[in-house]
Amino acid sequence: MTGRDDVVVLLVDDHRVFAEALAGVLAAEPGISRVNLASTLDGARGQLRADPPDLVLLDLALADESGYTLLADLAGPPDPPAAIVLSGSTEPRLIVQALEAGARGWLTKTTRLNALIAALWQVLDGHMYLAPATLQPVLTHLLADVHRQRAAAAFVDQLTPRELDVLRCLVSGMTRSEVAQHLFVSTNTVRTHIQSLLRRSEQHSALALVAFARSHGVTGIDETDASVIAVHPGSPS
């Protein structure tokens, strides 16, 4: 673990006044030996090679560049520096995306200095840190994802074999008439099944239904799907 008297921080932010002011404050903090600055991804990569940091403070919005790209770079080599996102946003989707990409923390730019310093040491000690104001939105976002996944799983499990056949035909890109021809049923029967599928999935169009089905593992009728075969071994008319 890095000693408390030789920590190197890389601050990646294209707001020059903000970055220089924060760098000056951090450099005066006991235990931090250097604070290097970069305003672009290329500049950050150069600093990572020239003076490998223990911690990266990263703004995700860098002019025309995305800091997410740098998070992906940091996840590559062994023993990478810890990364904390320092952002003006509290959008839970972005926070979760950053954590999935390897960030160890998320701070807003309005975070008080003492809280920022505490977060820095917490992350350097191997923990994760989220600003208190982001905790509830992030948890709500994650729980909503879990609810959607469970609802989607229940949706597929509750389909009749014929409804599943119709859905898989739609996922394969068939029109209603092609579905009817493929399954040897009338177009009115196909229309009735599609209306039922739309109600069950809470989607408002066949296109949205197909996207919903694809995103939850339903394959086309011409594709192999062992899980579907196992659940619905037959497709009586």
Share of the chain above pLDDT 90, in %: 50
Complete DSSP assignment for 112-139: -HHHHHHHHHHHHTT--EE-HHHHHHHH
pLDDT at 147: 67
158-175 pLDDT, tens digit each: 889 999 999 999 999 999
With the CA atoms of 153, 171, 93 and 64 taken in that order, what torsion angle do they form, in degrees rounded to the nearest 10?
A: 160
Share of the chain above pLDDT 70, in %: 86
pLDDT at 4: 60
Q: What is the mean pLDDT of the chain?
A: 85
Question: Which residue did the predictor score with more confidence, 1 or 216?
Answer: 216
pLDDT at 148: 67
d(CA 89, CA 107): 9
Q: Is the pTM of this model over 0.95?
A: no
115-142 pLDDT, tens digit each: 999 999 999 999 988 887 777 777 776 7
Using CB atoms within 10 A of its CB, is residue 57 exposed (0-12), middle (13-18) or buried (19+)? buried
pLDDT at 130: 85
> Residue 30 pLDDT more than 50?
yes
pLDDT at 81: 92
d(CA 208, CA 223): 20
> Residue 225 pLDDT more than 70?
no
Question: Which residue did the predictor score with more confidence, 84 or 142?
Answer: 84
Helix ranges (H only) for the chain are 16-27, 41-50, 67-74, 92-100, 113-124, 132-157, 161-171, 176-183, 187-201, 206-215, 226-231
With the CA atoms of 136, 137, 138 and 140 taken in that order, what torsion angle do they form, in degrees rounded to the nearest 10?
A: 80
Mean pLDDT of 184-203: 92
Question: Which residue did the predictor score with more confidence, 39 or 157?
Answer: 39
| Domains along the sequence of the chain with CATH | 7-138 (3.40.50.2300), 158-231 (1.10.10.10)
